Amino acid sequence: MEIFVLALAFSKSLMLALAAVLPILNPPASAPVFVNLTRDVAPATRRALAQRVGLNVALMLAAAMLVGTYVLAFFGVSIPVVRVAGGLIVGFTAWNMLYAQEAPDQEHVARVLQNEQRVRIQAFYPITFPLTCGPGSISAAITVGAALHHPQWPVAAVNFAGGLTAMALVSLLVTLTYGYASRLLRPLGEVGMVVFLRLSAFILLCVGVQIFWDGASELLRGLNLDTA
């Protein structure tokens, strides 16, 4: 009977973590952004970067779920402040992508090696954070971690095992989606790709503004309550 209870707890924590994080992270929605940022690198380099980004996502989500609450409390940083800062970064990156100029053909080959090194450096920032795993995903992971605590340590251990398994599955989905994103978008053609990437950049800009506004609104509500 105890094994059944632990198995049920594992399943519930797994589904809870997936349901909380995956819709916010949404790898297919950020895949065009990844393709745009890695458009000047070789396919093998892009796949390696996709694996690195997937690993980074797994580590970030796992850390946020396990110790995120304690880290933010130690530095005195609130979730709304994280959302405001992340929204600004996402919006700034999307703005640059929206108005990026296409490189002339004669400059493209000369920039490939330089861009491969640049993109490797950017594998964590901004590709992993905040474009793939942003403030919303981190907030969700922290919330999930707080919900997985249990007075009985065997149940708590199983709960966190289920949560970590969910983060590993999310990481695998990110790796596969990013690794094959260019193939999925190839039927659009060159012109269709440019249009789609511009639309994706605009949507990402809207997402950044929304993240910023969510955090700012919560901060303003707290300020009003303090002055009331």
| Secondary structure, 3-state, the chain | CHHHHHHHHHHHHHHHHHHHHHHHHCHHHHHHHHHHHCCCCCHHHHHHHHHHHHHHHHHHHHHHHHHHHHHHHHHCCCHHHHHHHHHHHHHHHHHHHHCCCCCCHHHHHHHHHHHHHHHHHCHHHHHHHHHHCCHHHHHHHHHHHHHCCCCCHHHHHHHHHHHHHHHHHHHHHHHHHHHCHHHHHHHHHHHHHHHHHHHHHHHHHHHHHHHHHHHHHHHHHHHHHHHC
Average pLDDT on 157-169 reads 95
Confidence grade of residue 101 (pLDDT, cut at 50, 70, 90):
low
Residue 80 has pLDDT above 90, yes or no: no
Residue 13 has pLDDT above 80, yes or no: yes
Average pLDDT on 163-180 reads 95
Would you state the pLDDT for residue 122?
76
| Best-predicted range by mean pLDDT (7-21, 126-140, 141-155, 190-204) | 7-21
Average pLDDT on 76-84 reads 81
Average pLDDT on 126-141 reads 85
Least confident range from 51-60, 162-171, 210-219: namely: 210-219
Q: What is the pTM of this model?
A: 0.74
CA 107, distance to chain mean position in Å, is 32
Least confident range from 93-102, 126-135, 195-204: namely: 93-102
Average pLDDT on 186-214 reads 78
Average pLDDT on 55-71 reads 91
Contact, 180 vs 34, CB < 8 A? no
Percent of the chain beyond pLDDT 70?
87
Would you state the pLDDT for residue 161?
95
Residue 33 has pLDDT above 50, yes or no: yes
